[in-house]
Chains A and B, each alone.
Chain A
Amino acid sequence: SAVISQKPSRDICQRGTSLTIQCQVDSQVTMMFWYRQQPGQSLTLIATANQGSEATYESGFVIDKFPISRPNLTFSTLTVSNMSPEDSSIYLCSVTGKGGFLGEQYFGPGTRLTVT
């Protein structure tokens, strides 16, 4: 399985500001995913990020609010823009597993964001 790190691990931010979350993988991967986990809730997919192409956003998520970069096969960033308290969540990145099993994903430790 891939080893995934995220920075920062947690942050407390003021409303109206933006935070960029980094996701680093120890091997080259084609597909990376960004999820949001609101307090006490399950995971919701924000977008899929493929290297060299625009991210694909899920219904309810827009690029202006959650811009994503994918400059190479081991790195991605998610920015949470113009934050409000409703953005307080854990943000997780994931990658597909080696061997190509559809759906099998490995997750980073998450970034715990609190917006005041």
Chain B
Amino acid sequence: AQSVTQLGSHVSVSEGALVLLRCNYSSSVPPYLFWYVQYPNQGLQLLLKYTSAATLVKGINGFEAEFKKSETSFHLTKPSAHMSDAAEYFCAVSAQGAAGNKLTFGGGTRVLVKP
């Protein structure tokens, strides 16, 4: 069984400040991990993915995430927030080798960027 916990349903950051979104996972087998972003009234867009290669993963729009097995974490960061980063972000996990390629999503974190 897999689960994902995102700490903080809402995060407010100032433009130019660090964005840090926290994600902890639980998986009985080695996981694949993903961050998705959902802009208002749109579907989900894949930001980045961890698939057991490098533990530091770089994605689109300047985001990156680090897989830490010892902490069962996959936190998402961006050094400098932009107004266009205002959106909802979802962390998701899939179990390697699992039948059906199922994704389990966290509860989401809504990011507000203040000018």
Q: Please give the residue numbers on chain A whose beta carbons come within 8 Å of chain B beta carbons, in ascending order.
A: 1, 4, 31, 33, 41-45, 48, 56, 92, 94, 96-97, 101-110, 112
Contact = CB atoms under 8 A, between A and B. Distances in A.
Contacts of B105: 42-44
Given A102-B97, A103-B92, A103-B101, A42 B108 contact: yes
B24 interface: no
B93 interface: yes
B101 A42 contact: no
Contacts of A31: 100-101
Contact of A105 (B41, B97, B101, B108): B101
Contacts, number: 67
Contact of B42 (A4, A102, A109): A109
Contacts of A97: 46
A43 B90 contact: yes
B46 A102 contact: no
Nearest to A108: B43
